[in-house]
Amino acid sequence: GAGELGETNFVMRAMAGGVSGGTAASMIEVMSTMSADPEARRLMNDPYTLTTDRAAEPELGHQSDTPIRRGREIAPELDGIWTGAFVMGATNSRIVRRSNALLDWAYGRKFRYAENMSMGSSVVAPVAAAMGTAGNAAVLGLGSRYFNKLPRGLVERIAPTPGTGPNERTRDKGHYRVETYTTTSRGARYRATMAQQGDFGYKATSVLLGECGLA
């Protein structure tokens, strides 16, 4: 009875882990496709590209994949914190919006969603937020148009090899904590926290997949 979800923000508060060669390879393929095909680029830039019925989605205006904000703009609990764009936000946000559509918009017809990464509250936090967000925006904006101009051999030499990833020590020592803040159409506010021990791309994800299977 609290109403439908409105402005909703995922905030990565802490994370540690390694880099997946398979994830890097997937991102390279996405950028290659987008830069070679304007229609694919248009679809990828649509926040509702994975929806079940595009015409049924509400028009809520621009929903940034690379937000930069003071924490207090998201929630009072984050006062003093700076946040920038989360590197997986462009992908994850479309999956979340698809979930809303698959559930017949159970989250809400005015549900707006973005993913952010906490940069802390130090004097360098606003600079880190600006630089991180600018880097993400450059990768999405320039990469989606010009990535196919780069020599493929050079890209493959720089990027981690598919099938490689963090060692066992890194997988065990890795962790993350996410806080998601939302407001509802009736003025209620909620915060959900999810945290796991283990590398976020390997050990923690394996647990999530196992739990989904059991559920």
* pLDDT band at residue 82 using 50, 70 and 90 as cut-offs: very high
Q: What percent of the chain has pLDDT over 70?
A: 100
Q: Average pLDDT, stretch 165-181? A: 95
Q: What does DSSP say about strands 175-184 and 112-118: parallel, antiparallel, or unpaired?
A: unpaired
* pLDDT band at residue 152 using 50, 70 and 90 as cut-offs: confident
* pLDDT band at residue 23 using 50, 70 and 90 as cut-offs: confident
- Residues ≥6 apart with Cβ < 8 Å to 67: 83, 84, 85, 114, 116, 133
Q: Fill in the amino acid letter for 39.
A: E
Q: Average pLDDT, stretch 11-31? A: 91
- Residues ≥6 apart with Cβ < 8 Å to 88: 115
